[in-house]
Amino acid sequence: MVYGALSSAWMAAAVAAAPATAADTAPAAAAPGARTPAAPKPGAPKPGAADSSAPEAPAATAPVAAPDAPPAELKTLDQEVQGLKKDVIDLNKDLFVLQEELLFPANTQVALYISMDVGAFFALDSVTVKIDNKEVKNYLYTAREADALLKGGVQQIYLGNLKVGKHELVAFFTGKGPVERGYKRGATISFDKGVGAKYLELKITDRVPKHQPEFMIKDWE
Amino acid sequence: MRRAFLAGCLILGAATAGASLAAAPTMVGKPAPDFVLRGLDGRNLRLSEFRGQVVLVNFWARWAGDSQKEMSALDRINTTYQRAGLVVLGVSVDEDLRRAQEFASSMAVSYPMLFDTGSVIGKDYFLQKMPMTILVDRAGVVRYSIVGFKRGDEHIFLDQIRELLRE
């Protein structure tokens, strides 16, 4: 009731175009868009105050700040936060690129990618990769991952370092073949690792005339 | 004299065990390391594919006597809270795959049973005592870790599960 009374007094003062001496009394009750003068320090009387007829007194019943300041401050703070987030993302990206360059420099880097085509004759379960007779990767595929490959996804299954020279890569593909039978096939490739990154692709396709899947390893151009 | 000696050994053992438990590393508060394992039904399951759901992972072994009791309790929890978004995964760390599979089949629980014969993920999760159960929240962070199981511990799981499902 006191709050309502004060707000009425304030509005009356505003309508009468009185000098802005009623500082921060109930700005929430003010007309929308009405501007209140800059609020003095809250020396407001307590909320239980019975004095409702003093529009000149800085009678604030609630410690509400001037409506102009918070939105501008919040906007600036929000912009700062967004800016910081962007900086963090950019830094993260740069760090990732630097890390790759440091751990897998281009002159020794070898990367393997796997892709699947159609998949009517083969449901992929796992892939094992050996380079120079040493197992470097064993990857189990979930149904969702296999589905992603079937939809055209290409996965970087291995990233490593190799010295310049001749190397042999063997890949074993395990899954379910035609008629839901267990299926395990291998493919091999001998390649020369020169200066510069080497990219190889493990490709699974359907050989329709024979109703069998086909596995191959080739240079990724 | 002998009694005093035995008492002293017990006290020393308890103090050491307490210290080792207190110093044992834990995954609580850290992102759950991802893993993919083959299940009893032949499907491969990856932990990160359940991001967005609350996941309870129970690490067990045949030789851990509490595992059997715990599995029955977890089966009841899974039946009740599966529709609310809880995923329960059982992970065997038994090196003998065939026996672990036989044991899992005999338990006939309603949640997936996965097998880590190479004890690969045991190191990631600091597995020291069996059984061990962890709760992973929707963001993929380990929130609770409980070692061992005794009758009545089911309500502890329930309280924590409800809390995470409410988030």
| pLDDT recorded at residue A45 | 45
Angle B37-A124-A121 (CA atoms, 0-180°, nearest 5)? Answer: 155
> Are B131 and B20 in contact, with CB atoms under 8 Å apart?
no
How many inter-chain contacts (A to B, CB under 8 Å) are there? Answer: 18
Give how far B152 is from chain A: nearest CA, Å. Answer: 36
Query: Model confidence over A203-215: pLDDT tens digits?
Result: 998 777 777 788 8
Which domains, and CATH codes, for chain B?
A: 26-166 (3.40.30.10)
pLDDT in tens, chain B (167 residues): 666 665 555 555 544 444 333 445 678 999 999 999 999 999 999 999 999 999 999 999 888 778 888 899 999 999 999 999 999 999 999 888 899 999 999 999 999 999 997 777 888 898 878 889 999 999 999 999 988 888 778 888 899 999 999 98
Angle A53-A55-A58 (CA atoms, 0-180°, nearest 5)? Answer: 115
CB-closest option in B44, B45, B49 to A125? B44
> Are B125 and B31 in contact, with CB atoms under 8 Å apart?
no
Query: What pTM value is reported for the model?
Result: 0.66
- Give the integer Cα–Cα distance in Å for A174 and B23: 43
Fold exhibited by the domain A109-219: Immunoglobulin-like (2.60.40)
Q: Considering only residues 103 to 162 of chain A, which have any Cβ-Cβ distance to chain B shorter than 8 Å?
A: 125-126, 140-145
- Give the integer Cα–Cα distance in Å for B31 and A184: 35
The pLDDT of residue A130 is above 90 = yes
Query: Model confidence over A57-109: pLDDT tens digits?
Result: 444 454 554 555 567 878 899 999 999 999 999 999 999 888 877 887 777 88
> Are A134 and A169 in contact, with CB atoms under 8 Å apart?
no
Q: Do B37 and A125 touch (CB under 8 A)?
A: no
Q: Do B44 and A144 touch (CB under 8 A)?
A: no
- Which of A109-123, A161-175, B9-23 is the least confident region? B9-23
Q: Do A142 and B38 touch (CB under 8 A)?
A: no
- Best mutation target among B37, B41, B46, B116 (most A Cβ atoms within 10 Å) is B46
| pLDDT recorded at residue B166 | 92
| pLDDT recorded at residue A75 | 83
Residue ranges per structural domain of chain A: 1-68, 109-219
Query: Residue B37's closest chain A neighbor by CA?
Result: A140
> Are A137 and A158 in contact, with CB atoms under 8 Å apart?
yes
Which residues of chain B are within 8 Å of residue A137 when distances are taken between CB atoms? none
Name which of A24, A25, A20 is nearest A6 in CA terms. A25
- Give the integer Cα–Cα distance in Å for B96 and A99: 39
**Mean predicted confidence (pLDDT) in A149-174:** 93
H or E element, residue A206: strand A198-207
Which residues of chain A are within 8 Å of residue B45 when distances are taken between CB atoms? 142
Say which residue, B39 or A22, is predicted with more confidence: B39
Q: Among all chains, which residue has been given the structure tokens 């509005």?
A: A11
CB-closest option in B37, B38, B49 to A144? B49
- How many other CB atoms are found less than 10 A from the CB of residue A195? 8
Say which residue, A26 or A182, is predicted with more confidence: A182
CB-closest option in A125, A126, A142 to B45? A142
| pLDDT recorded at residue A209 | 72
Q: Which residues contact A15 (CB under 8 A, 6 or more apart)?
A: none
The pLDDT of residue A37 is above 60 = no
pLDDT over 70 for what percent of chain A? 67
Give how far A141 is from chain B: nearest CA, Å. Answer: 6
The pLDDT of residue A153 is above 70 = yes
Parallel, antiparallel or unpaired: strands A198-207 and A109-116? parallel
